[in-house]
Amino acid sequence: MLKTEYDVVIVGGSHAGLSAAMALGRMRRSVLICDDSRPRNQISSHANNIAGSDGVSPEKWRQQARHDLEKYKTIQLINATVHKVEKRQLQFHVELSSKEVVHARKIILAHGIQDKLPDVTGFQELWGKSVFHCPYCHGFEVQDQRLGVVGSGAYVEHMLPMILGLSKDVMVFTNGASDLSKDFVTALKKKQIPLIQSPIACLGYEGQKLQFIEFKNHPRIERDALFVGPQLPISMRVNFDKQLGLEKNEMGLYKVAEMGRTNIAGVLAAGDIVTLQQSVVNAVSSGQSAGAWATFELLSEDFHQF
C-alpha cells in the first residue's frame, strides 16, 4: 500500500538507487523506491571488478541488496515506472505508471542510461557476451584473444592503449569515416596496428561468440571480442531534465556537484547518469553519497523549522 507522502522518492532501484536507499533507511527517513527492473547489466551473467563480490551474478547482487533493505522498515520498494516528476513549491509530485501520484520532499534520480549500439546485426545480439563497453568489466576474460576497438575519435584514442594491455592482437574499426588525429594514425602505422575504416556490414557469430566482422568494402576479419564506445550524447528513457529543468553536460549526463546535487534544489542524481566512469562500484558510491546528502538536507531543514 502506497503512502501519499515520503521524505524521498528514488527513481531506479538498482546499484545507485538501492545504495541511496540504504543510507536513508539507516537514518530512518521514509523512502519509496520505484523500479521497473531494466538494469543496464541484466544481460550479463557476471559482474566483475567489484571488490568483495567479483564475478557475482548481477541479478543475485540486486536480490541481495533488496534483501538487505528489508530490515529498514521505512523503505518501500515498488515495481513501477516513474513517468513524471514535477516540482511544486517545496514538494515534488511523482506520477507512476499506475497513474498513482505520490509526494516527496526530495528526489533521487538513479534511473541509469540506455545503451545505443551501432545499428548493425550482431552488436545487440552479442552485447555483454562478445561485445563490451568496458575493459575493466570484461577485458580480463578475453585477454590474449583477437580483439577490436570499434569507434572513432577520442574514444578509440583513449581505449586502444588499454586494450593493448590485454592482448597484442588488437585492430581498430572506425565503422566508416573517422576523426582520428594524424598523430594517432601515425602511431598506429608505426606499431603496425591495423586500422579498418570500412563500414561494418554485420558481425558473424555462433551462439554468443563473435566469429568475424563482415565489412561493406573490405574482406572479412576474424575477431573474438570487441569493445565499443558510447554514442554521445548519452540517452535516457524519460526526459526528467525537461520536466525538472535539470542541466546536462555535453555528454548528455546530468551536471552534478559533490554528493550528487543537481542545479535544482532537492533533486539529486547518482549512478551511470552522472558519469562516463560507469561501473557498479561507482554507482553504489554515488548512490550512497546522494542518499547521505538527502538525509542531511531533510534533517537540517527539520532542525531549522520553528
Site residues for ligand FAD, 86-105, by CB under 6 A, read: none
Of 6-14, 159-167, 206-214, 298-306, which segment contacts ligand FAD by CB under 6 A?
6-14
Site residues for ligand FAD, 184-243, by CB under 6 A, read: 237-238
> What's the grid cell of residue 100?
498513482
Q: Smallest distance from the beta carbon of 63 to ligand FAD, in angstroms?
A: 13
Spatial distance between the Cα atoms of 184 and 175, rounded to a whole number of angstroms: 17
Question: 48 or 76, CB closer to ligand FAD?
Answer: 48
Regarding 271 and contact with ligand FAD (CB under 6 A), the answer is yes
| CB 238, CB 258: distance < 8 Å | no
Q: Which position's Cβ is nearest ligand FAD?
A: 271
Binding-site size, ligand FAD (CB under 6 A): 40
Reading across the β-sheet that carries 170-173, which strands appear in turn? 131-132, 225-228, 147-150, 170-173, 195-196
DSSP 109-161: E----B----SSTTHHHHBTTTEES-HHHHTGGGTTS-EEEE--HHHHHHHHH
Spatial distance between the Cα atoms of 125 and 211, rounded to a whole number of angstroms: 13
Q: Smallest distance from the beta carbon of 218 to ligand FAD, in angstroms?
A: 27
Of 116-124, 192-200, 226-234, 273-281, which segment contacts ligand FAD by CB under 6 A?
273-281
Of 9-17, 155-163, 181-189, 195-203, which segment contacts ligand FAD by CB under 6 A?
9-17
Question: 56 or 195, CB closer to ligand FAD?
Answer: 56
Q: Smallest distance from the beta carbon of 273 to ligand FAD, in angstroms?
A: 6
Site residues for ligand FAD, 125-144, by CB under 6 A, read: 127-128, 133, 137
Three-state SS for 183?
Answer: helix
Q: Smallest distance from the beta carbon of 58 to ligand FAD, in angstroms?
A: 7
Q: Tell me 258's DSSP state.
A: G
> What's the grid cell of residue 107?
528526489
Question: 220 or 237, CB closer to ligand FAD?
Answer: 237
Q: Tell me 192's DSSP state.
A: T
Question: 110 or 150, CB closer to ligand FAD?
Answer: 110
Spatial distance between the Cα atoms of 131 and 282, rounded to a whole number of angstroms: 22
Nearest to 172 by CA among 119, 223, 231, 230: 223
Q: Smallest distance from the beta carbon of 36 to ligand FAD, in angstroms?
A: 4
Question: 48 or 178, CB closer to ligand FAD?
Answer: 48
Going from the C-alpha of 120 to that of each of 39, 43, 221, the distances in angstroms are: 23, 18, 16
Site residues for ligand FAD, 32-51, by CB under 6 A, read: 34-41, 43-44, 47-50
Buried b (16+ CB within 10 A) or exposed e, 151-172: bbeebbbebbeebeebbeebbb
Binding residues (CB under 6 A) for ligand FAD: these are 11-17, 34-41, 43-44, 47-50, 81-82, 110-112, 115, 127-128, 133, 137, 237-238, 271-272, 278-281, 283
